[in-house]
Amino acid sequence: MAIKLSSPSYGELEIQAATRVLQSQVTSMGYETYMFEQELKQFFGRKDLNVLVVNSCTAALQLALQGIGIKPDDEVLLPSLTYIATFQAVSALGAVPIPCDVDDECFIDIDDAKSRITSKTKAIIPVLYAGIENNINAVYKLAKRCDLHVVEDAAHSFGSKNTILRDGILCFSFDPIKNLSCTSGGAIVTSNTDLAHKIQDLRLLGVIGDTERRINGERSWDFDVKEQGWRYHMGNLCAAIGRAQLSRMKFISNIRRSVASRYVNELNGLNYIRLLPINYETAIPHIFPIIVNEGLRNDLMQYLLSRGIGCGIQYKPNHLLTYFDRGYSLPNTEKLYSQLLSIPLHPMLSNDDVTIVIDTIKEWAVNV
């Protein structure tokens, strides 16, 4: 594809960081992991937050759910329109993901979620799809009223100013194409220190107090384990790359924001497409999904692909997958699924690339 849909941006700093760790021969969890957590905390600008890095956002979600006490057969509400990872994180604990519809902004539909609450419902996961969180307060209100935990899937929202101001449990992704990438990684961010301590052990196979020993370059030879844990910690190599990316966050977010604002300025109001209401003043855009009029999405997709422009469908709704099908349909999710099309957004795009994407979409809209 001449213009990719998504891409990381690794430069000299990331290469130097990886080389430094490889030369040290200490690639497992240690000093770099500790420093990455400290620097993320500084980046968020809130001293009260605990930041725990792990090897993916999928792991972050699973650990957060286990940490708040989600058990087999508990039900967890979440929008069907999300990456498969959100669902798998719930089912990995033996809990049951309950797919909910989304509203026109691709955010979990509060009324639909409410209608699916049973005596087994213990938590709700709002997914900040494309950084959209306009209705997040309604999730917290519902959760308070119905005594549910909230775990936010903020995989798309690293760097968003509003997300980090909330007093929730946030799970970020640092996979290769996210706003910050350390090749593979994630983070759980919470002001709940007891929860953070619990997750610290869970990410290291449940070994109690292992984080401190590893940061000091030691191993645990005599230890105890009190519950099921997982090998989900982040090693020095990924953490060092993450630190380098974090130091370039301003540069990376400026490009993402400037690409997105060109799309907004030049595509808004165009026939046959609708844009999502994302606030790019506060959010750093991770993906740029457009909503194409019914029946035309595949036509635009083929038009772009045949001209070397990468695009994709984010995401196939999870209730349409055999494993997560619960025998009911979700009308708005299914409608959006037939209309959504993500267009290129990443830090390696040049101005010319963006012009080509915009002109090609405009050309399609004239000729369709």
Ligand X SMILES: Cc1ncc(COP(=O)(O)O)c(C=O)c1O
- Residues near ligand X (CB under 6 A): 56-58, 82-83, 85-86, 127, 153, 155-156, 173, 175, 186
Q: What is the amino acid identity at position 298? A: N
Closer CB to ligand X, 186 or 347, in the complex: 186
- In the complex with ligand X, the residue whose CB is nearer, 154 or 291, is 154
Extract the tokens encoding 325: 């099908």
How far apart (Å, rounded) are the C-alpha atoms in residues 31 and 17?
A: 13
**Closest listed residue to residue 300, CA positions, set 309, 315, 263, 3:** 309
At closest approach, how far in Å is the CB of 265 from ligand X? Answer: 26
CB of 269 to ligand X, least distance (A): 28
Distances in Å between the Cα of 315 and the Cα atoms of 80, 176, 340 are: 9, 18, 8
CB of residue 331 vs ligand X: minimum separation in angstroms?
A: 21
Q: Which is nearer to ligand X, 50 or 55 (CB)?
A: 55
- 276 CB-side CA count, 13 A: 29
Q: Which is nearer to ligand X, 158 or 263 (CB)?
A: 158
- Residue with token string 């457009």: 290
Q: How many CA atoms lie within 13 A of 40 on its CB side?
A: 32
| 50 vs 318, beta carbon nearer ligand X | 318
Helix axes 236-247, 12-24, angle to 10 degrees: 150
| Rounded least distance, CB 182 to ligand X, Å | 10
Using CB atoms within 10 Å of the CB of residue 18, give its burial: 0 to 12 exposed, 13 to 18 middle, 19+ buried. Answer: buried
Q: Shortest approach of ligand X to residue 21 CB, angstroms?
A: 20
Smallest distance from the beta carbon of 201 to ligand X, in angstroms? 21
Residue 315 CB, nearest approach to ligand X (Å): 8
> From the CB of 184, what's the least distance to ligand X, in Å?
7
* CB 93, min distance to ligand X, A: 15
Query: Residue written as tokens 């699916």?
Result: 116
Smallest separation, CB 362 to ligand X (Å): 29
